[in-house]
Chains A and B, each alone.
Chain A
Amino acid sequence: MSDSQMSLAMGHGAMIEESPYGIESKKLVMWLFIIADAATFGALLFGYGYLRAGSPNWTRPFTFAPTIINGIVMTFVLLTSSLTMLGAVGAAKAGQREATGRWLGATIGLGVVFAALHLREWFKMFAEGWSPSANPEGGSVLFGASFFGITGLHLLHVIGGVVAMTVVALMFKRGRLTPAHIETTGLYWHFVDLVWMFVFPLVYLMNAR
C-alpha cells in the first residue's frame, strides 16, 4: 500500500496531495540517497585525480594479465547482475514470486562473485607489498591510498547490497514486501554498477602499463 493509500485509509485524504514526482516515497528517498552517494564517489574520484595530477612519481602497476583481465571479468559480472536484477523487478511486477526469487538469487550470486574476485585481487596486491601506505615499486604511496580507498568503498557498497537483496528476497518470498520494494532495491544495485563504470576506466585502465 502506498503512503497516500495508507493515509486515505486512515481518513486523512483531504490532506494528502499526489507526489509531484509520481513515485512512492521510498523510491524518491532511494533516488535522493543515490544522488548524495554519487557526489561522494565523485569527490573520491576527483580526489584521486588531484593526487595523481599532483604526483610526478605516480605508479602505473596494472598489467593486462592478470589485473585488467580480472577487471574486465568483474565488469561483466556486475553488468550481468544488473540485468538479472531487472529480471527480478519484472517478475515481481508480474506477480511471479518464485521467478523473482530465482532472479534475485542470480543477482546475489553474481554480487558475491564480484566481491570474491575483488578480494582475491586485493590479497594478491597485499602479498606483493601494496597497502594504503606502501608502494613496493618505490613510487608514490598515494596510489595505494587512493586505490584501496575507492575500491574499498565500492566493495562495501557491493557487500551491503548483497545483504540487503538477501533480506528483501526472503521477506518478499514470505509475502511481507511488495514489488515496489524490489524495484527500490534494484535502483541501489544499478547505482553500484554505475559507480563501477567510472572506477574501472579511471582507476584500472588509467593505471595500466
Chain B
Amino acid sequence: MTATASPAAPGMKLYVGVWLGLLVIVAAEVALTYGGLSEGSLLAALLVLAVIEAAIALMYFMHLRYERRLLFWSLIPALVFVLLMLNHVWRDAARMIILSPHGP
C-alpha cells in the first residue's frame, strides 16, 4: 500500500481569514504593550496570545488539523513537555538576582 496523500486542504478564503485573525492578534499584542500593564501581567498576556497564534499557524497554515491525529500526538506533546521542563530555570534566575553585584 502507498503512503496516502494528505486530506484536501482548505481554500485560500480560509487562509486569508486566518491571516487576518493573526494580524488582529498582533495588533492586540502591541496595544497591550502600551496599555499600562505590569511587566508580569504583560508577559503572561503576550505568552497566551503568542501560543494562540502558534496554535492557529500550526493547525491551519501547517495543515496539522487536516493530518492524521497520530501525527499531532507524536509531535506536539513531546515538544510541550520539553518546553514545560525548561521552566526549572526560574529558581536559579531568582538566585542570580540576589547574588548580582548590582543588587536585587
Contact = CB atoms under 8 A, between A and B. Distances in A.
Given A22-B6, A35-B75, A50-B93, A56 B19 contact: no
B11 A76 contact: no
Nearest to A56: B102
SS class, residues of chain A in contact with chain B: helix
Contacts of B47: 201-202
Contacts of B15: 83, 86
Contacts of B33: 68, 205, 208
Interface residues of B, number: 56
A68 B12 contact: no
Contacts, number: 159
A19 B100 contact: no
SS class, residues of chain B in contact with chain A: helix
B104 interface: yes
B100 A54 contact: yes
Interface string A57-88: 10000001000100010011001101100110
A147 interface: no
B70 A20 contact: yes
A56 B104 contact: yes
Contacts of B12: 86-87, 90
5 contacts: A49-B89, A50-B96, A53-B90, A82-B19, A89-B9
Interface of A: 2-5, 8, 16-25, 28, 31-32, 35, 38-39, 42-43, 46-47, 49-51, 53-57, 64, 68, 72, 75-76, 79-80, 82-83, 86-87, 89-90, 93, 183, 187, 190-191, 193-194, 197-198, 200-202, 205-206, 208
Interface of B: 1-4, 6, 9, 11-12, 15-16, 19, 22-23, 26, 29-30, 33-34, 39, 42-43, 46-47, 49-50, 53-54, 57-58, 61-63, 67-68, 70-71, 74-75, 78-79, 82-83, 86-87, 89-90, 92-97, 100, 102-104
